[in-house]
Amino acid sequence: MENYGVYTARLAPKIDGLAPGHRACVGCGEALAVRIACKAMGENIIVSNATGCMEVVSSQLPVTAWDIPWIHTLFENAAAVASGVESALKVMVRKGRRPDKGTKAVAMAGDGGTSDIGLQALSGALERGHDLLFICFDNEAYMNTGIQRSSATPFGASTTTSPAGKKSIGQKTWKKNMPAIAVAHDIPYVATASPSYPFDMMEKVKKGLAVNGPAYIHVLSVCPTGWRSAPDLSVRLGRLAVQTGVFPLYEVENGKYKLSIDPSPLRPIQDYLKLQGRFRHLSEGMAKQIQDRVINEYEKLKQKCTCS
């Protein structure tokens, strides 16, 4: 990350692909993330959006918050639709039916539309090598339908389908490592990003858009509604996720791992957990378990960064 960015917000492009007036919740980290991504992507794109929070808050007939060409069809197929967009652009330019303006195909989905129901379509699109950018806006559960757990929900989090109770610890499984799955497709660019680090995110989105071939960016999007956190803490929670090592920021360019920011020494996990109602029930033992896992995973990531 280039640090000057933190102090020079005015360097951000003025254009807004996602216009104000949408219906996102107060403090929505995803709306912020999408806005930042759109600033970085500019106007020469076509977006395929999966069903989910972002689609619902931005596009109720007869109005729209999108100032860029945007298509929503279904939940699990954002990557497949973007494959069609990319192929159509390619052939129409080749046949002289569209000017060659370098228009890029982009797909956006939430964590469910990426790592659960949309995983197959995403894998297919990445494997086929389409020149497209897929951005996962991960708010760690099915927030649009009322906070049900997904495979991206972190261990211990209480959701409406993994509620904490006398006989339940909340989410029983560890968060699926979606960026690693993207890396396994041997694509030119994979990155994690956070709207709490807006200039780092913008740079990554620009890079992902510029590479020739598939790119995948995984964005942690704080959800005050689902995380049971104060709406004014969304940006801070995004930072804490990075500083505690829960959500490290890194890039994988042509298989080469690189940490974007090394927050070592990591802040204690409780700094992050205690601000969120979804972890309120956690026992000390469970918090310890999470702390150990985070340190372990972070060390593994650092290994990859030095090895590759």
Partner 1 sequence: MGERIGIEVSLAIAEAAKMANVDVIAAYPITPQTHIVEHLAELVASGEMDAEYILAESEHSAMSACLGSSAVGARTFTATAGQGLELMHEVLYVASAMRLPVVMAVANRALSSPLNVWGDQSDLMAVRDTGWIQIICENGQEAFDHTLCAFRIAEDQRVLLPVMIHTDGFYLTHVVEPIEFPKQDEVDRFLPPYQYPLPLDPDKPVTMGAFAPPILYSEAKKAQEVNIRASKKIILDHWAEFGKAFGRHYHPIEQYRTEGSKTLLMTLGSFGETAMTAVDKMRNEGKDVGLLKLRLWRPFPFEELRQAVGNAEVLIVVDRALSFGGPGGPAYSEVRSALYSKKKRPRIVGFIGGLGGRDITVAEFEGMVKRGVEMVKAGSEQEFEMFGVRE
Alpha-carbon gap, residue 25 to 178, rounded angstroms: 26
Which C-beta is closer to partner 1: that of 15 or that of 26?
15
Query: Shortest gap between Cβ of 4 and partner 1 (angstroms)?
Result: 30
Contact predicate 107/82, CB 8 Å: yes
Which C-beta is closer to partner 1: that of 68 or that of 266?
68
Tell me: does residue 55 bind partner 1 (CB under 8 A). Answer: yes
Which C-beta is closer to partner 1: that of 59 or that of 270?
59
Tell me: does residue 35 bind partner 1 (CB under 8 A). Answer: no
Query: Shortest gap between Cβ of 76 and partner 1 (angstroms)?
Result: 7
For residue 265, give the 3-state DSSP assignment. Answer: coil
Query: Shortest gap between Cβ of 13 and partner 1 (angstroms)?
Result: 15
Query: Shortest gap between Cβ of 145 and partner 1 (angstroms)?
Result: 14
For residue 100, give the 3-state DSSP assignment. Answer: coil
Compute the CA torsion angle 27, 31, 34, 40 (nearest 10 deg).
Answer: -60
Tell me: does residue 289 bind partner 1 (CB under 8 A). Answer: no
Residue span 221-240 as binding mask against partner 1, x where in contact by CB under 8 A, dash where not: --------------------
Name the helix (H) or strand (E) containing 148.
Answer: none
Tell me: does residue 88 bind partner 1 (CB under 8 A). Answer: yes
Tell me: does residue 174 bind partner 1 (CB under 8 A). Answer: no
Please list, in sequence order, all residues whose beta carbon lies within 8 angstroms of the beta carbon of residue 248, skipping any fewer than 6 positions away.
Answer: 192, 242, 259, 263, 298, 301
User: Six-digit token pair at 252?
Assistant: 């994988």
Which C-beta is closer to partner 1: that of 70 or that of 155?
70
Query: Shortest gap between Cβ of 2 and partner 1 (angstroms)?
Result: 28
Query: Shortest gap between Cβ of 91 and partner 1 (angstroms)?
Result: 4
Q: Could you tell me which stretch among 29-37, 91-99, 208-216, 276-284 binds partner 1 (CB under 8 A)?
A: 91-99
Alpha-carbon gap, residue 291 to 3, rounded angstroms: 28
Q: Report the residue count for the chain.
A: 308
Rule CB under 8 A: which of 104-133 touch partner 1? 105, 120-121, 123-125, 127-128
Q: Which residue, among 89, 128, 126, 125, has the nearest Cα to 105 in the 3D structure?
A: 89
Contact predicate 119/80, CB 8 Å: no
Alpha-carbon gap, residue 204 to 260, rounded angstroms: 10
Tell me: does residue 187 bind partner 1 (CB under 8 A). Answer: no
What crossing angle do the helices spanning 119-128 and 78-94 adopt, rounded to 10°?
Answer: 30
Binding positions for partner 1, rule: CB under 8 A:
43-46, 48, 55-56, 59-64, 66-74, 76-77, 79-92, 94-95, 97-98, 101, 103, 105, 120-121, 123-125, 127-128
